[in-house]
Amino acid sequence: MDPLAHDLDRLADHLLEQALAAPDKRATLKLELGRVRLSWASDKGDHEIEALPGMLVRIPDAKHRVEALEPSVMLLTAVSLPGSHAH
């Protein structure tokens, strides 16, 4: 197996374990390379997070937008738990 593919498989397994261990965090974005902005609106106003390589960001359970501020590589992990609505 390609070493990069193996590393990505291991990272995906790790992120899935984290998501399952913390049910309130059903979707995450792990930035590997580049820079992205995650933005969303809530009843408390507009929010945004600028993610840098190595950051693990919880994706809110609301309509959101991910914008690449430069060429980027990210890993999205989303877990549908029994009884929850699909994203």
* Cβ–Cβ under 8 Å, residues 36 and 29: yes
- For residue 53, the enclosing domain spans 3-78
User: How far are the Cα atoms of 14, 20, 26, 80, 87 from residue 52, in angstroms, in the given order?
Assistant: 19, 24, 21, 26, 24
* DSSP β-ladder status, 45-51 and 27-42: antiparallel
Q: Provide the token pair at 25.
A: 């965090």
Average the pLDDT over 34-40 and give the result. Answer: 96
In a domain, 83, yes or no: no
Helical segments of 1-87, H only: 3-21
- The pTM assigned to this predicted structure is 0.64
Mean pLDDT value across the chain: 81
Tell me the one-letter amino acid at 45: G
Q: What is the pLDDT of residues 51-65, one digit of tens each?
A: 999 998 988 888 899
In a domain, 70, yes or no: yes
In a domain, 38, yes or no: yes
Task: Tell me how many domains the chain contains.
Answer: 1
Residue 39 has pLDDT above 70, yes or no: yes
Question: What confidence category does residue 26 fall into, taking pLDDT thresholds of 50, 70 and 90?
Answer: confident
pLDDT of residue 27: 84
